[in-house]
Amino acid sequence: MKTIAVLTSGGDAPGMNAAVRAVVRTACVNGIRVLGVLRGYNGLINGDFIEMNLRSVSDIIHRGGTKLYSARSAEFATEEGMQKAIHTCKENGIDGVVVIGGDGSFRGARDLSERGIPCVGIPGTIDNDIACCDYTIGYDTCLNTIMDCVDRIRDTTESHDRCTVVEVMGRRSGYLALNAGIAVGATSILIPEIKFDIEKDVIERMKRTQLTDKKHFLIVVAEGVGVNVVDLAKSIQEKTGVESRACILGHIQRGGSPTVKDRVMATRMGNYAVKELLMKNIGNKVVASRHGDIVDYDIFEALNMQKHIDEDLFRVAMEVSI
């Protein structure tokens, strides 16, 4: 490999910069030229590149967002767009591409690999919803951001004997809601992976804890369950008599300086992608973390894997938060 490209794609996640830095530095110290691709696959189609060197990734390890910008590219998902991207790669002598993003981005990397451009995916998404990985870059920072925000909400919820229904991100998965819900001591947690009944799992739980003199409540709802939290708060107020508010945390969850865990994992994964894979002419892979180790999977295999929420963790949460 003489020249590689690196891009960030899909929703941004804190720690993407640390991964870009590790990819660029590992390549540079090993004599490989690196092109930074701007705005995900759009940049690959349009040849929107910046020449990277050791210093172009200085002072980014602690920054959220992505210095390379990110995008969702409808054009790249078409055969014509993909062919344009392949042409641009060939024109610029790109021998391999590191794609930092979620599973949608990996599908793009798989299609590009199939058409002869070796790609390596690094899991970067706050949702932790990539089946082959225990952990994705950005997840830890996002969890801590949610915890910090909900701790503040708890202060005012407690002062006024209220209930606050908090909606958190996660797309179709409940990892963020479950783990943040435990960390903030939520009375109920609603996630897409576990069936729920509002009457039994929210209203009755609240009424039961009211009998033990509990007066303020936090309910954490994953966006993926599709419940309107404003309506839920109204219904809780009507049925329990507790003044209730809804709070949608929104994009605050995506930003901020990455935690130690995200910086270290991003650095290890970025280094692995170049040193253990592309430098050995190995493409069509996803870098993953498994029980604390950095490993890799075939990109096709990775995209066909299934991941299941820890139901026992949910049980623990419900048993303890009563």
For ligand ATP, the binding residues (CB under 6 A) are: 9-11, 41, 72-73, 76-77, 101-105, 107-108, 111, 125, 127, 171
- Residue 170 tokens read as 């996660």
Question: Residue 126 Cβ, how far from ligand ATP at the closest point, in Å?
Answer: 7
User: Quick one: which of 171, 211, 194 has its CA closest to 322?
Assistant: 211
163-168: strand order across its sheet: 188-190, 217-222, 163-168, 244-248
Surface-to-core class of residue 203, CB atoms within 10 Å of its CB (0-12 exposed, 13-18 middle, 19+ buried): middle
Question: Residue 13 Cβ, how far from ligand ATP at the closest point, in Å?
Answer: 7
Question: Residue 140 Cβ, how far from ligand ATP at the closest point, in Å?
Answer: 15
Mark 244-276 as b/e (b = at least 16 C-beta within 10 Å).
bbbbebeeebbebebbebbbebbbbbbbbbbbb
Q: Which amino acid is at 189?
A: I
Question: Residue 9 Cβ, how far from ligand ATP at the closest point, in Å?
Answer: 5
Question: Residue 306 Cβ, how far from ligand ATP at the closest point, in Å?
Answer: 16
Cβ distance to ligand ATP smaller for residue 212 or 306:
306
Which position's Cβ is nearest ligand ATP? 104
Contacts 24+ apart (CB under 8 A), 288-291: 288/123, 288/130, 288/132, 288/133, 288/134, 289/123, 289/133, 289/134, 289/135, 289/265, 290/133, 290/134, 291/134
Cβ distance to ligand ATP smaller for residue 104 or 255:
104
Cβ distance to ligand ATP smaller for residue 73 or 259:
73
* Catalytically annotated residue among 48, 103, 111, 127: 127
Cβ distance to ligand ATP smaller for residue 11 or 181:
11
Surface-to-core class of residue 198, CB atoms within 10 Å of its CB (0-12 exposed, 13-18 middle, 19+ buried): middle
Question: Residue 129 Cβ, how far from ligand ATP at the closest point, in Å?
Answer: 7
Q: Is the alpha carbon torsion for 243, 244, 245, 247 positive or negative?
A: positive
95 is catalytic: no
- Residue 174 tokens read as 């409940």
Residues known to be catalytic: 127
